[in-house]
Amino acid sequence: MAQMARTPRWTAHAAGLQAVWRGTLAGTVAATFLFVPPAALAQVDVGKPSSLRNLVPADQLEGSAAQQYGDLKRQAAAKGALAPDNHPQVRRLRDIAAKIIPFAGKWNPRAGHWRWEVNLIGSRQINAFCMPGGKIAFYTGILDTLKLTDDEVAMIMGHEIAHALREHARERIAKNELTNLGASLLGEFLGGGKYTGAFQLGSSFLSLKFSRDDESEADVVGMELGARAGFDPRAGVSLWQKMAAASRGAPPQWLSTHPSGSNRIQEIERHLPQVMPLYQQAAKR
């Protein structure tokens, strides 16, 4: 787990910490899931998810992620670094999430049953993530250092949600464990699933490194999610320009698990014609 930076102490009542993603916001999201507009049926094509992910039970993975996320919140709260529910940036993040999440279900039916959470952690880290099961966190460093607009926040959030929806962590753990166990067991995994569920899920989700293909896929899906929610997908370009500028010194933490790649902006620009009509349609609503 990354070391928490010292930050001014926020007052956070225990009842508030238990109320994350409940009440009005949770009700809004649950209700909106039922009323996704018909236009949402057309979507960008990134192919089928890897079948290797099926070697890791989704329920166990999401349970492990929920436990790690809870540990992270408790550590942050103990250091006064977990922002309270009424913090302006928390409200901002949750408002953006409430617009994006209703479009998640068509990418992964499990998303309709996830207990989504969005939290803000006080730290200079330039970082954000979405764990399996919809556990989202932003660090104040990524908001403050990059001075993100709402559209840019939506591109980051959409990207992170896309990793969870496409189950990249599930796939990555399966591949890592197969490598550790040896190729001789591969046939037993794929034929009959004798060892299904035997993988160790104790590794930190925050340290998983995704492949270049995973990153490209998350960019495209994230742009689509954000565009449907009414956020300008062109913000993906300005976001990566800001990220590149920030990486000239010490590389941001986000880049340790989300490598930039020299052609990332070009790839985003290449897919803009696919998602801009979705944004323009959403802007009319």
Q: DSSP for 74-143?
A: HHHHHTT-B--TT-HHHHHHHHHHHHHGGGTTTT-GGGGG---EEEEE--S---EEEETTTEEEEEHHHH
**Mean pLDDT value of segment 268-274:** 92
Tell me the pTM. Answer: 0.75
Structure-block tokens of residue 33: 């899931």
Question: Could you give the strand order of the β-sheet that contains 135-139, starting from the edge strand earlier in sequence?
Answer: 117-121, 135-139, 128-131
- Which pLDDT score, from 0 to 100, does residue 185 have? 52
DSSP secondary structure letter of residue 154 = H
pLDDT at 11: 37
Query: Is 62 tagged catalytic?
Result: no
Residue of 144, 14, 174 whose CA lies nearest to 78 = 14
| CB 156, CB 282: distance < 8 Å | no
Specify the higher pLDDT residue, 35 or 93: 93
Whether residue 61 is predicted with pLDDT greater than 80 in this model: the reply is: yes
What φ, ψ does residue 137 adopt, rounded to 5°? -145, 140
- The span from the CA of 65 to the CA of 203, in Å, is 10
Burial class of residue 38 (count of CB atoms within 10 Å of its CB; 0-12, 13-18, 19+)? exposed
Mean pLDDT of 233-257: 76
Annotated catalytic residue within 62, 117, 160, 224: 160
pLDDT of 34 higher than 70: no
147 confidence band (pLDDT: 50, 70, 90): very high
